[in-house]
């Protein structure tokens, strides 16, 4: 910057998309990284700012190679002996590493970004708890136990935390306890009831057999497969007039590319 006294001054210019950009994409349904490249290539935006709306609730968790129990100090680099990120409805993982890679933390401790999306904050937090419990990382220390702790914290869950909350209000012993209780990526609930439920789903005219684990749910009692079979509706055939609705998704302004992956 050239000042009025003809002297030059350095002014920070941060002309980049922030690390948290996936939150914007999940809430708006617009892939802003893609459009940054298209704009750079000379393409015009097909919509106005007034047309952009937000919907739902999204949370981003930086999966860093850091030890929150040691004042969030970066952990030494190492080989990712196990790297198995979560998936499922409302879950997005942005990463560029794979199991067996060697992680170097000299410049940046970021391993991956975990995003969860829900219709509201309550649903997003519920999905985040599941996703963080399923994030299996071995070989390096990560911040996952701290994230899981925060999803148990009443103030955070209620949205009453502040930027000073960790320094002024959160008991450090709770962080140490979280690292003892949680092994990053491992579901440490040995007494939890796990019920498997089998479904047949149809997506884009294709059928898939799906098995889901219901943790903490009420088990479904076994029943006689012949009982009541005559009361069940028959399967729709090719001549049926019933409409079948498959799961579909799409950018509200750019069909076929919805970064939310919503159902």
pLDDT in tens, 242-251: 333 333 334 4
Domain end marker among 9, 39, 55: 55
Total domains present in the chain = 3
Domain end marker among 55, 73, 95: 55
Residues 49 and 68 in one domain: no
pLDDT digits (tens, 9 = 90+) for 38-54: 999 999 999 899 999 99
Q: Distance between CA atoms of 103 and 110, rounded to whole angstroms?
A: 10
Residues 43 and 156 in one domain: no
pLDDT digits (tens, 9 = 90+) for 185-243: 333 344 455 667 787 877 877 788 888 766 544 444 444 444 443 444 444 444 444 33
Residues 49 and 70 in one domain: no
Rounded mean pLDDT, 116-143: 95
CA-closest candidate to residue 61, choices 142, 175, 160 = 142
Domain that holds residue 207: 191-220
Looking at the chain, the whole-number percentage of residues with pLDDT higher than 70 is 73
Q: What is the mean pLDDT of the chain?
A: 79
Contact 211, 197 (CB under 8 A): yes
Is 246 part of any domain? no
Is 258 part of any domain? no
Given this model, what pLDDT does residue 169 score?
Answer: 86
Query: Using H for helix, E for strand and C for coil, what is the string for 39-92?
Result: HHCCCCCCCCHHHCCCCCEEEEEEEECEEHHHCCEECCCEECCEEECCCCCCEE
Residues 66 and 164 in one domain: yes
Is 82 part of any domain? yes
């Amino acid at each position: 910057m050239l000042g009025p006294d003809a002297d030059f001054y350095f002014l920070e210019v941060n002309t980049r998309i922030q690390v948290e950009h996936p939150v914007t994409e999940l809430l708006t349904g617009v892939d802003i990284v893609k459009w940054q490249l298209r704009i750079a290539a000379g393409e015009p935006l097909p919509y106005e700012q007034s047309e952009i709306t937000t919907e739902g609730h999204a949370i981003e968790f930086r999966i860093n190679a850091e030890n929150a129990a040691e004042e969030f100090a970066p952990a030494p680099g190492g080989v990712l002996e196990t790297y198995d990120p979560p998936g499922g409805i409302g879950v997005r993982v942005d990463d560029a590493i794979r199991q067996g890679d060697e992680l170097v933390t000299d410049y940046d401790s970021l391993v991956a970004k975990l995003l969860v999306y829900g219709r509201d904050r309550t649903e997003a937090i519920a999905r985040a708890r599941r996703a963080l419990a399923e994030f299996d990382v071995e070989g390096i220390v990560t911040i996952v136990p701290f994230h899981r702790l925060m999803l148990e914290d009443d103030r955070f869950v209620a949205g009453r935390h502040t930027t000073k909350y960790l320094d002024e209000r959160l008991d450090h012993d709770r962080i140490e306890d979280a690292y003892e209780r949680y092994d990053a990526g491992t579901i440490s609930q040995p007494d939890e009831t796990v019920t498997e439920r089998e479904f047949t789903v149809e997506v884009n005219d294709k059928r898939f057999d799906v098995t889901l684990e219901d943790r903490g749910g009420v088990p479904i009692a076994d029943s006689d497969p012949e009982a009541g079979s005559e009361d069940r509706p028959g399967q729709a055939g090719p001549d049926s007039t019933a409409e079948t609705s498959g799961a579909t998704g799409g950018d509200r302004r750019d069909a076929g590319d919805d970064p939310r992956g919503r159902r």
